[in-house]
Amino acid sequence: MQVEKMADISNSIRKAKKASIELAALDTVTKDNALKAMAKALDARRSEILEANRKDVDAAEKDLKSGEMTKALFDRLKVTDDKISGMITGIEDVVRLKDPVGETISTLELDDDLTLYQIRCPIGVLGIIFESRPDVVPQIMSLCLKSGNAVAFKGGREASASNKALFDILQEAAASAGVPKDAFCIMEGREDVGVILGMDEYIDLLIPRGSNSFVKYIQDNTRIPVLGHAAGICHVYVDSKADLKKALNVALDSKIQYPAVCNAVETLLVNSKIAKDFLPKMMDAFEKNSVEVRADDASYKIIGGNVKKASEADWDEEYNDLIISIKTVDSVDEAIDFINEHGSGHTDAIISEDKEAIAKFVSMVDSAGVFINASTRFADGFRYGKGAEVGISTNKIHARGPVGMEGLMIYKYILVGDGHEVRTYAGKNAKKFTHKNLDKQFRV
Amino acid sequence: MQVEKMADISNSIRKAKKASIELAALDTVTKDNALKAMAKALDARRSEILEANRKDVDAAEKDLKSGEMTKALFDRLKVTDDKISGMITGIEDVVRLKDPVGETISTLELDDDLTLYQIRCPIGVLGIIFESRPDVVPQIMSLCLKSGNAVAFKGGREASASNKALFDILQEAAASAGVPKDAFCIMEGREDVGVILGMDEYIDLLIPRGSNSFVKYIQDNTRIPVLGHAAGICHVYVDSKADLKKALNVALDSKIQYPAVCNAVETLLVNSKIAKDFLPKMMDAFEKNSVEVRADDASYKIIGGNVKKASEADWDEEYNDLIISIKTVDSVDEAIDFINEHGSGHTDAIISEDKEAIAKFVSMVDSAGVFINASTRFADGFRYGKGAEVGISTNKIHARGPVGMEGLMIYKYILVGDGHEVRTYAGKNAKKFTHKNLDKQFRV
How far is residue B71's CA from residue B54's CA, in Å, rounded to a whole number? 16
CB within 8 Å: A422 and B124 = no
Chain A closest-CA separation from residue B444 CA (Å) = 6
Residue-by-residue pLDDT tens, chain A, 444 positions: 566 777 788 899 999 999 999 999 999 999 999 999 999 999 999 999 999 999 999 999 999 999 888 888 898 899 999 999 999 999 999 999 999 999 999 999 999 999 999 999 999 999 999 988 899 999 999 999 999 999 999 999 999 999 999 999 999 999 999 999 999 999 987 778 889 999 999 999 999 988 888 899 998 899 999 998 888 999 999 999 999 999 999 999 999 999 999 999 999 999 999 999 999 999 999 999 999 999 999 999 999 888 999 999 999 999 999 999 999 999 999 999 999 999 999 999 999 999 999 999 999 999 999 999 999 999 999 999 998 789 999 999 999 999 999 999 999 999 999 999 999 999 999 999 999 999 999 998
- Cα B271 to its chain centre, rounded Å, is 32
Q: Which of B385, B396, B402 sits opposite A433 (nearest CB)?
A: B385
At the topology level, CATH places domain A3-98+121-220 in Aldehyde Dehydrogenase; Chain A, domain 1 (3.40.605)
pLDDT confidence of residue B2: 61
A12 within 8 A of A150, measured Cβ to Cβ: no
Taken in order B189, B190, B194, B199, is the CA torsion positive or negative? positive
CB within 8 Å: B383 and A22 = no
How far is residue B401's CA from residue A119's CA, in Å, rounded to a whole number? 12
Q: Which of B250, B363, B379 sits opposite A24 (nearest CB)?
A: B363
Tell me the average confidence (pLDDT) per consecutive run of 10 residues in chain B, 444 residues long: 72 96 97 98 98 96 89 90 96 95 97 98 96 92 97 94 97 98 90 89 94 88 91 96 98 96 96 98 97 97 91 96 97 98 97 98 97 98 89 95 96 98 95 97 93
Substitution target in B366, B382, B408 with the highest count of A β-carbons within 10 Å is B366
Which residues of chain A have a CB within 8 Å of the CB of B24? 363-364, 366
Which residues of chain B have a CB within 8 Å of the CB of A338? none
Which residue type occupies B307?
Answer: V
3-state secondary structure of A116: strand
Beta strand extents in A281-388 (DSSP E only): 292-295, 308-309, 323-329, 347-351, 369-374
Q: Which residues pair with B154 in a beta bridge?
A: B129, B187
Which residues of chain A have a CB within 8 Å of the CB of B383? 110, 422, 425, 433
Chain A closest-CA separation from residue B394 CA (Å) = 10
A251 within 8 A of A351, measured Cβ to Cβ: yes
In degrees and rounded to multiples of 5, residue A216 shows phi and psi of -60, -45
How far is residue A57's CA from residue A48's CA, in Å, rounded to a whole number? 14
Which residues of chain A have a CB within 8 Å of the CB of B435? 385
Which residues of chain A have a CB within 8 Å of the CB of B415? 369-372, 374, 378-379
In degrees and rounded to multiples of 5, residue A24 shows phi and psi of -65, -25
DSSP H helix total and E strand total for chain A:
14, 17
Which residues of chain A have a CB within 8 Å of the CB of B398? 397-398, 410
Residues 6+ apart with CB under 8 A from B260: B72, B320, B321
Which residues of chain B have a CB within 8 Å of the CB of A205? 396-397
Ranges of each domain in chain A: 3-98+121-220, 234-378
Residues 6+ apart with CB under 8 A from A14: A202
Which residues of chain B have a CB within 8 Å of the CB of A98? none
**Domain B3-100+122-220 -> CATH class:** alpha beta
Q: At what angle do helices B46-66 and B81-96 cross, to 10 degrees?
A: 120
Which residues of chain B have a CB within 8 Å of the CB of A257? 421-423, 426
Which residues of chain A have a CB within 8 Å of the CB of B423? 253, 257
Q: Which of A379, A414, A435 sits opposite B362 (nearest CB)?
A: A414
Chain B closest-CA separation from residue A94 CA (Å) = 17
Please give, one letter per residue, the 3-state secondary structure of B344-412.
CCCEEEEECCCHHHHHHHHHHCCCCEEEEEECHHHCCCCCCCCCCCCEEECCCCCCCEEECHHHHEEEE
Residue by residue, DSSP assigns B234-270 as EEEEE-TT--HHHHHHHHHHHHHSSTTSTTSEEEEEE
What is the per-residue burial (b if ≥16 Cβ within 10 Å, else e) of A397-429? bbbbbbbbbebbbbbbbbbbbebbbbbbbeeee
Q: Which of A336, A384, A419 sits opposite B250 (nearest CB)?
A: A419
Q: Is the ipTM of this complex over 0.85?
A: yes
CATH superfamily of A234-378: Aldehyde Dehydrogenase; Chain A, domain 2 (3.40.309.10)
pLDDT confidence of residue B141: 97
pLDDT confidence of residue B235: 98
How far is residue B345's CA from residue B403's CA, in Å, rounded to a whole number? 15
Q: Scanning every residue of chain B, which has its alpha carbon at the shortest distance from the alpha carbon of A411? A: B400
- A137, containing H or E segment: helix A136-147
B208 within 8 A of B228, measured Cβ to Cβ: yes
pLDDT confidence of residue A288: 97
Cβ-count burial of A74 within 10 angstroms (0-12 exposed, 13-18 middle, 19+ buried)? middle
Q: Which of B116, B396, B410 sits opposite A410 (nearest CB)?
A: B396
B401 within 8 A of A413, measured Cβ to Cβ: yes
Residues 6+ apart with CB under 8 A from A70: none
**Any alpha helices (H) in B67-159, and if so which ranges?**
71-77, 81-96, 136-147
Pairing of strands B125-130, B205-209: parallel
Which residues of chain B have a CB within 8 Å of the CB of A367? 412
Pick the closest to residue A338 from A410, A267, A261 (CA basis): A267
In degrees and rounded to multiples of 5, residue A415 shows phi and psi of -105, 120
CB within 8 Å: B378 and A422 = yes
Chain A closest-CA separation from residue B48 CA (Å) = 31
pLDDT confidence of residue A142: 96
DSSP summary character for residue A226:
B
How far is residue A152's CA from residue A18's CA, in Å, rounded to a whole number? 13
Q: Scanning every residue of chain A, which has its alpha carbon at the shortest distance from the alpha carbon of B377? A: A422
Pairing of strands A436-437, A104-111: antiparallel
Which residue type occupies B360?
Answer: K
Q: Scanning every residue of chain B, which has its alpha carbon at the shortest distance from the alpha carbon of A344? A: B201
- Cα B119 to its chain centre, rounded Å, is 24
Chain A closest-CA separation from residue B26 CA (Å) = 9
B332 within 8 A of B357, measured Cβ to Cβ: yes
Chain A closest-CA separation from residue B64 CA (Å) = 28
Pairing of strands B391-393, A401-403: unpaired
Q: Which of A220, A249, A258 sits opposite B419 (nearest CB)?
A: A249
Substitution target in B360, B420, B424, B438 with the highest count of A β-carbons within 10 Å is B420
The CA–CA distances, whole Å, from B421 to A247, A257, A318, B130, B417 equal 11, 9, 21, 49, 9
Pick the closest to residue B203 from B185, B189, B188 (CA basis): B185
Q: Which of B204, B257, B412 sits opposite A422 (nearest CB)?
A: B257
The CA–CA distances, whole Å, from B56 to B44, B78, B82 equal 21, 8, 18
pLDDT confidence of residue A56: 96
A374 within 8 A of A349, measured Cβ to Cβ: yes
Q: Which residues pair with B187 in a beta bridge?
A: B154
Q: At what angle do helices B136-147 and B81-96 cross, to 10 degrees?
A: 10
